[in-house]
Amino acid sequence: MKVAILGESSADEAVVRIFVDAILGEPTDSVERYRLRSRGWPAVLNQLPAVLHALYYQSDADALVVVVDSDSHPHDVAHDDPGPRDDSCHLCAVRSKIDAVRARLRPVQGRGSFRAAAGLAVPALEAWLWCGQDSLVTEQNWINGLWAGEIPYTKLKLKQWVYGTDRPDLVTETTRATERARRLAENLAMLEERFPIGFGALCREVRGWRGDLR
């Protein structure tokens, strides 16, 4: 299966690829034609329409996976209720954009269905990577802290934990992040349990593709 990954950095995209492969239970191929690269939020959101159009019309990609950091805008399950989405929520904003673009796509002869999935790392991808190292690092803990006005850890603190510095170079960041992702990929259940909204959503959507594949 050919899957394009769009994240906030190349290191994030390498991590997401590992998770997507683990969720699907088989390795995916990248879309060689496009070496996608974003540069943080909201660039991901801004370039999403162009990426989706290009992948759909000009590539043989089967799917796109988008994973972004929540920053201080985590997803609430209430956002999934019928009605307008809360576009201040990064996950809702990504989903809205994907839906809007897909609704406008013209049928293309010979093209199969094009799938898309979105995930949300609360507050940043490094929280997923630190999962299991510290029981306090969970989606709910961070969201509770945010509402209480006292977040339990910052994005910079997560970087220090994962990379040993809050200013990792790209090679270190990618190497350490993918090492941790490979270990975590062997225990997705833990990630899903501790990050049920953002990681859980990604798992559910990607697993939903399996039926299409068979």
Pick the binder of another protein from 2, 24, 30, 41 (CB under 8 A): 41
Q: Which is nearer to another protein, 76 or 166 (CB)?
A: 166
Q: Which is nearer to another protein, 60 or 169 (CB)?
A: 169
Which residues, at least 6 apart from 79, have a Cβ–Cβ distance to it below 8 Å?
85, 86, 89, 91, 92
CA–CA separation, 140 and 101 (whole Å): 31
- Draw the binding track, 141-180, toward another protein (x: CB under 8 A; -: no contact): --------------xx--x----xxxxxxxxx--------
Please identify which residue in the block is written with the tokens 């209720």: 81
Instruction: Check binding of 86 to another protein (CB under 8 A).
Output: no
**Separation in Å, CA 84 to CA 153, 179, 209:** 31, 39, 26
Instruction: Check binding of 87 to another protein (CB under 8 A).
Output: no
Residue 16's region, left for phi above 0, alpha for psi from -120 to 50, else beta, is alpha
Which residues, at least 6 apart from 18, have a Cβ–Cβ distance to it below 8 Å?
178, 181, 182, 185
Q: Closest approach of Cβ 21 to another protein, in Å?
A: 24
Q: How many residues bind another protein (CB under 8 A)?
A: 23
Asked whether 146 and 72 are in contact (CB, 8 A), the reply is yes
Instruction: Check binding of 39 to another protein (CB under 8 A).
Output: yes
Q: Which is nearer to another protein, 71 or 192 (CB)?
A: 71
Give the three-state DSSP class for 119. Answer: strand
Q: Which is nearer to another protein, 33 or 167 (CB)?
A: 167
Pick the binder of another protein from 72, 133, 140, 144 (CB under 8 A): 72
Binding site for another protein (CB under 8 A): 9, 37, 39-43, 71-73, 88, 155-156, 159, 164-172
